């Protein structure tokens, strides 16, 4: 079990090199080794989407990928998407429309929504709900999450 | 008192959010301490088994493993307490220990603890622990558990009965039913649910040998209560030796109210090993070993007249409470269920018997709504059954039986304190108007001719929030082993900033925002000058925690009362500073002035500074503007409303789709409509999910078939339409804000709205009742006369 692999990953714009066990999940590497704890873990069967990050621009469940597979990739986590004084449009939408309650699903939701809007800047409600198929929220009933994403889309296309 | 801009009633966005949307929240698994070890539990794969031996040698040989402990090792601490036995009856109590000793009672029961340097090693090592089990006979169904010949789970609980409790008037009810023109009988199952907060549970414990003090970070809705239970009951040490901290909590829904094994075993192991120990459940463990909710089997009979008057209601419920009792398990199906089973109706004779039952399943305790969803589901289904039986429109039957507004405060004869206030008709009318009830009924009739099946379901509900007073709910009355008051401290800093500390424990409800809105208005200070602190037992006054939709009605009122004290003292000091009589002081917008001289003001900051430096105080006044209140309300509050669901059923597949959902709720005064609507949306979603998708299933061997998010159908965004919410406002007379509570109303109202709609749609097929969840298989079978799934 002591074999490790050398990886080089650009995380939130910064180059990170590390030796990781081949079995180390990307989400654990981000959370435990890089202290990027905004990415959450809500399940062990790849259902909940609390762990979604962007890998080379695509929304990926980081619990379903080994850190080693991210070698050579660019990873963006919620911490890299926007800052409190420079929110990404989706973060702002979630704040404006009360798109979160406990906030646990929120980073994954925001990362999924940001990727959706990058692909499809003006999604219909049905398209938004479809895009959220891999993300579970237990607090909001999704109502305001949908509105938050619509808000962000409106801002982006206005 | 007037203020320029009222904050109460404004839909301001939450101050909690900037951290959470940028990934800066601090949740339990984000806690990292120097030298911290990781714990993994070895869990029983059997639902009922004798533990004959545990061999940890292979696990201990793995590099990085620090220790393996068993239940025997932890025999110096007590079992977890049950803090709410059903009131005034015998309770055969059996509670879990930090780890099982001798016997495992359900799949996932913890039998050993592996502690290692990191979580991957701990997980590897857990697989190497060899446990010798002797499987025993298993029972998972509450009805079967009470039958002769069933395996007996606990020596002190013959027929696996925890308690046999009743309320209402049995004789009168029997007589009313015997004499009735119409009676309808049904067996109604309220299936077992798994709360599924998106963050699982966990604990991190640290022990300081030099002082003998524990610090425990926990995913708890009630850290003060945990401190009390862990110190006084489990460890037998002074409360002052334990500090409990709840960081951000990723949803609770009741599951995070209770005292759990991991709190005890991380503390025990941290003390033993002299290093901090972290335990975080994975989702499978959360499903197997944290609490579940509901799980009732009820025989119910409703009686009435042909012209739609309900005259009697008789209920006999078996409540499955699991292999052991969780912290407040027996109180849920008794006080919070039986006593409100008559709902919004004036029913002259009602009786409810509840037996709690042990089975080889995970413990069942409060899950969002806790007892009240089971009660409102039951009565609302039966009112629809009764309406169908006499051929009357379900809206009309409801209207005819509503408790009339002039009857409030209203005693329902079930041993509950009087309903505080209510006006049920307008909420029903408004809901029907929004949904366009008459047009929908016409559409339904037309659709049926074309072989399309549309259903409209109503739910008129009332629930119990802010449960109190302590003298009623407590040991001599309802059996709750503590009080249910709340506390608040408000202090004004030298700079005029106001710091509120509360014993409430927000975990998604937006209480920081709501409380700050209240304080801003009550004290007349800018909203941004108010800071709300919570979550750490060493920095906040004692509070019983956030659950039961009680934080605004009870915790919020404690704050209002505290602010009043601060204001009074500030006025006294201002009078002194302005050399005037206090009777002549006017308090406006956070400033004091003498009546008639509004240009000579003392701001709250001026007064706070004077109070703090104390150079010149009135005779006998203590320094500092700092007040505390302990508030025990005189009664509970009773929110109500009517929800309407509209469903379409696919005749080919039996699939149900929720076309519309209208909710008209009356939660009393609304502080922040954005937050209240959000609470309702989330609550509605959980009830809709119970009706359509969710259900925990154990097979006959006690294996949890729905053991992960793959099998347990937590709903996705595509299940729901946009919810249409509106409200009426009937102030509660119980507290000065007039608030009732909104955290659980959505869940309490929604399952039956959807099921009534589904069953309404299936009326052409002669379907009178269908158990939840209304999966397409179950619906299809009901349409085609099949029995599979139609009953249970
Ligand atoms: S943690 Fe649930 S999908 Fe990744
Ligand atoms: S906000 Fe709590 S799970 Fe989505």
Pocket test for ligand 1, best of A47, A53, A109, A134 (most atoms within 8 A of CB): A47
pLDDT higher than threshold 80 for residue B533 = yes
CA distance B711 to B698: 12
Compare B523 and B789 and report the one with higher pLDDT. B523
CA distance B581 to B574: 9
Pocket test for ligand 1, best of A26, A28, A38, A49 (most atoms within 8 A of CB): A49
Question: Exposed e or buried b for every residue in A89-99, given b needs 16+ CB within 10 A?
Answer: bbbbbbbbbbb
Q: Distance from A129 to chain B by nearest Cα, in Å?
A: 5
Backbone angles phi, psi at B318, to 5 degrees: -105, 120
pLDDT of residue B3: 43
Radius of gyration from C-alpha coordinates of chain A = 16
Compare B495 and B319 and report the one with higher pLDDT. B319
Residues B645 and B626 in one domain: no
Pocket test for ligand 1, best of A41, A66, A133 (most atoms within 8 A of CB): A41
Q: Is residue B564 part of a domain?
A: yes
The confidence band for B786, taking pLDDT boundaries of 50, 70 and 90, is low
Specify whether the CB–CB gap between B593 and B513 falls below 8 A.
no
pLDDT higher than threshold 50 for residue B87 = yes
pLDDT higher than threshold 70 for residue A88 = yes
Q: Distance from A102 to chain B by nearest Cα, in Å?
A: 4
End position of a domain, from candidates A62, A81, A100: A81
What letter does residue B598 receive in the DSSP assignment?
E
Element of type H or E holding B211:
none
Region B642-671 average pLDDT: 97
Q: Is residue B2 part of a domain?
A: no
The confidence band for B536, taking pLDDT boundaries of 50, 70 and 90, is confident
**Counted domains in chain A:** 2
Residue nearest to atom 4 of ligand 2 (CA): A137
Region B71-99 average pLDDT: 97
Residues A60 and A12 in one domain: yes
Residues A97 and A56 in one domain: no
CATH label of the domain that carries residue B325: 3.30.365.10
Residues B626 and B674 in one domain: no
Region B212-226 average pLDDT: 96
Residues B443 and B295 in one domain: no
Which bin fits B160, alpha (ψ -120 to 50), beta or left (φ > 0)?
left
pLDDT of residue B777: 96
Pocket of ligand 2 (CB under 6 A): A 100-106, 137-140; B 198, 251, 508
Radius of gyration from C-alpha coordinates of chain B = 27
Residues A11 and A69 in one domain: yes
SS3 B60: helix
As a whole number, the mean pLDDT across chain A is 96
Cα B1 to averaged position of ligand 2 atoms, centre (Å): 38
pLDDT tens-digit map of B312-338: 999 999 999 999 999 999 999 999 999
Region B556-584 average pLDDT: 96
Range of the domain at B309: 34-368
Region B643-667 average pLDDT: 97
B23 and A79 within 8 Å at the Cβ level: the answer is: yes
Share above pLDDT 70 across residues of chain A, in percent, rounded to a whole number: 97
CA B619 to chain centre: 48
Sort out which chain A residues have CB atoms less than 8 A from B690's CB and list them. Answer: none
Specify whether the CB–CB gap between A121 and B705 falls below 8 A.
no
- CA distances to A11, A16, A35, B36 from A29, rounded to whole Å, are 11, 11, 8, 17
pLDDT tens-digit map of B160-183: 999 999 999 999 999 999 999 999
Sort out which chain B residues have CB atoms less than 8 A from A84's CB and list them. Answer: 18-19, 22, 24
Residues A72 and A96 in one domain: no
Residues B105 and B173 in one domain: yes
CA distance B649 to B658: 9
Is the CB–ligand 1 distance for residue A46 below 6 Å? yes
pLDDT higher than threshold 90 for residue B508 = no
pLDDT of residue B542: 85
**Counted domains in chain B:** 3
pLDDT higher than threshold 90 for residue B22 = yes
Sort out which chain B residues have CB atoms less than 8 A from A43's CB and list them. Answer: 282-283, 708-709
Region B745-755 average pLDDT: 97
Cα A137 to averaged position of ligand 1 atoms, centre (Å): 12
Range of the domain at A46: 5-81
CA distance B229 to A20: 42
Is the CB–ligand 1 distance for residue A37 below 6 Å? no
Residue B670 token pair: 């609304």
What letter does residue B694 receive in the DSSP assignment?
-
pLDDT tens-digit map of B349-402: 999 999 999 999 999 999 999 999 999 999 999 999 999 999 999 999 999 999
pLDDT tens-digit map of B663-702: 999 999 999 999 999 999 999 999 999 999 999 999 999 9
Cα torsion B479, B481, B484, B486 to 10°: value is 180
The confidence band for B541, taking pLDDT boundaries of 50, 70 and 90, is confident
Residues B620 and B708 in one domain: no
CATH label of the domain that carries residue A41: 3.10.20.30
For CA atoms B387, B391, B393, B397, the dihedral sign is: negative
Q: Is residue B473 part of a domain?
A: no
Is the CB–ligand 1 distance for residue A42 below 6 Å? yes
Residues A77 and A106 in one domain: no
The confidence band for A157, taking pLDDT boundaries of 50, 70 and 90, is low
Compare CB distances from B198 to A83, A130, A136 and report the shortest one's residue: A136
The confidence band for A155, taking pLDDT boundaries of 50, 70 and 90, is confident
Q: Is residue B471 part of a domain?
A: no
Compare CB distances from A132 to B674, B681, B716 and report the shortest one's residue: B716
Residues B577 and B697 in one domain: no
For CA atoms B81, B84, B88, B90, the dihedral sign is: negative
Cα B248 to averaged position of ligand 2 atoms, centre (Å): 12
Residues B605 and B688 in one domain: no
Residues B725 and B584 in one domain: no
Q: Is residue B477 part of a domain?
A: no
pLDDT tens-digit map of A93-123: 999 999 999 999 999 999 999 999 999 999 9
Residue B377 token pair: 């589901």
């Amino acid at each position: 079990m002591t074999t490790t692999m050398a990886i080089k990953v650009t995380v939130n714009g910064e180059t990170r090199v590390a030796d990781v066990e081949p079995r180390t999940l990307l989400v654990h590497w981000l959370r435990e080794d890089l202290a990027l704890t905004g990415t959450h873990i809500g399940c062990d069967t790849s259902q909940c989407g609390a762990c979604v990050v962007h890998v080379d621009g695509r929304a990926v469940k980081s619990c379903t990928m080994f850190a080693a597979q991210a070698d050579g990739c660019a990873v963006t986590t919620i911490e890299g998407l926007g800052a409190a004084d420079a929110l990404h449009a989706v973060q702002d939408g979630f704040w404006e429309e009360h798109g979160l309650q406990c906030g646990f699903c929120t980073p994954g939701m925001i990362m999924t929504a940001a990727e959706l809007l990058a692909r499809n800047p003006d999604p219909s409600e049905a398209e938004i709900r479809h895009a959220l198929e891999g993300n579970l929220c237990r607090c909001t009933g999704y109502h305001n999450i949908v509105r938050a994403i619509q808000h962000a889309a409106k801002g982006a296309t206005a | 008192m007037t203020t320029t801009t009222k904050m109460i009633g404004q839909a301001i966005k939450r101050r909690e959010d900037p951290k959470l949307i940028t990934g800066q929240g601090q949740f339990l698994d984000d806690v990292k301490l120097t030298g911290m070890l990781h714990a993994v539990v070895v869990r029983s794969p059997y639902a009922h088994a004798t533990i004959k031996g545990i061999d940890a040698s292979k696990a201990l040989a793995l590099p990085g493993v620090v220790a393996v402990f068993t239940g025997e090792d932890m025999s110096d601490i007590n079992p977890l307490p049950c803090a709410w036995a059903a009131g005034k009856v015998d309770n055969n109590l059996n509670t879990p220990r930090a780890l099982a000793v001798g016997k495992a009672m359900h799949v996932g029961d913890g039998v050993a603890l592996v502690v290692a340097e990191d979580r991957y090693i701990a997980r590897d090592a857990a697989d190497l622990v060899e446990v010798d089990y002797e499987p025993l006979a298993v029972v998972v169904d509450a009805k079967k558990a009470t039958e002769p010949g069933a395996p007996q789970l606990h020596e002190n609980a013959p027929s696996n009965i925890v308690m046999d409790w009743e309320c209402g008037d049995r004789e009168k009810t029997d007589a009313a039913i015997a004499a009735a023109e119409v009676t309808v009988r049904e067996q109604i199952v309220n299936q077992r649910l798994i709360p599924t907060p998106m963050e699982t549970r966990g604990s991190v414990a640290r022990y300081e040998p030099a002082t003998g003090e524990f610090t425990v970070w926990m995913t708890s809705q009630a850290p003060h209560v945990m401190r009390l239970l862990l110190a006084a009951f489990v460890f037998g040490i002074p409360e002052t030796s334990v500090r409990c901290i709840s960081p951000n909590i990723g949803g609770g829904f009741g599951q995070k109210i209770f005292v759990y094994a991991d709190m005890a075993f991380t503390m025990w192991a941290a003390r033993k090993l002299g290093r901090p120990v972290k335990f975080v459940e994975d989702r499978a463990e959360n499903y197997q070993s944290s609490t579940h909710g509901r799980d009732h089997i009820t025989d119910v009979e409703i009686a009435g007249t042909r012209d739609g008057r309900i005259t009697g209601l008789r209920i006999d419920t078996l409540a499955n409470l699991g292999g052991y009792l969780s912290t407040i398990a027996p109180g849920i199906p008794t006080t919070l269920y039986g006593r409100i089973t008559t709902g919004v109706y004036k029913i002259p004779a009602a009786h409810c018997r509840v037996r709690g039952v042990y089975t080889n399943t995970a413990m069942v305790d409060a899950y969002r709504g806790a007892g009240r969803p089971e009660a409102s589901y039951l009565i609302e289904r039966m009112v629809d059954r009764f309406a169908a039986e006499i051929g009357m429109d379900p809206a009309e039957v409801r209207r005819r039986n509503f408790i009339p507004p002039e009857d409030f405060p209203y005693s329902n004869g079930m041993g509950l304190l009087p309903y505080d206030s209510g006006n049920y008709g307008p909420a029903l009318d408004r809901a029907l108007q929004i949904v366009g009830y008459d047009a929908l009924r016409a559409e339904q009739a037309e659709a049926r001719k074309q072989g399309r099946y549309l259903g409209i379901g109503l739910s008129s509900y009332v629930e119990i929030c802010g449960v109190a007073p302590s003298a009623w709910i407590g040991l001599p009355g309802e059996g709750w082993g503590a009080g249910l008051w709340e506390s608040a401290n408000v202090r004004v800093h030298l700079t005029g900033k106001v710091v509120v500390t509360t014993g409430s424990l927000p975990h998604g409800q937006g209480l920081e925002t709501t409380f700050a809105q209240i304080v801003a208005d009550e004290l007349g200070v800018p909203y941004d000058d108010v800071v709300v602190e919570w979550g750490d037992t060493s920095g906040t006054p004692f509070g019983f925690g956030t659950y039961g939709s009680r934080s605004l009605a009870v915790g919020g009122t404690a704050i209002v009362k505290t602010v009043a004290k601060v204001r009074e003292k500030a006025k006294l000091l201002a009078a002194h500073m302005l050399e005037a009589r206090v009777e002549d002081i006017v308090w406006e917008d956070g400033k004091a002035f003498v009546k008639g001289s509004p240009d000579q003001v003392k701001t709250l900051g001026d007064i706070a500074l004077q109070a703090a430096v104390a150079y010149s105080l009135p005779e006998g006044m203590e320094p500092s503007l700092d007040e505390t209140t302990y508030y025990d309300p005189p009664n509970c509050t009773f929110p109500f409303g009517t929800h309407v669901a509209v469903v379409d059923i696919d005749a080919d597949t039996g699939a149900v789709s929720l076309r519309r959902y209208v909710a008209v709720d009356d939660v009393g005064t609304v502080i922040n409509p954005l937050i209240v609507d959000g609470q309702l949306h989330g609550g509605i979603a959980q009830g809709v999910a119970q009706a359509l998708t969710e259900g925990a299933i154990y097979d006959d061997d006690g294996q949890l078939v729905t053991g992960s998010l793959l099998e347990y159908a937590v709903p996705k965004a595509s299940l729901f339409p946009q919810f249409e919410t509106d409200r009426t406002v009937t102030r509660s007379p119980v507290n000065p804000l007039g608030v009732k509570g909104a955290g659980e109303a959505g869940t309490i109202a929604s399952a039956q709205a959807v099921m009534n709609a589904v069953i309404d749609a299936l009326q052409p097929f002669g379907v009178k009742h269908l158990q939840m969840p209304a999966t397409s298989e179950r619906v299809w079978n009901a349409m085609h006369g099949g029995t599979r799934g139609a009953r249970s």
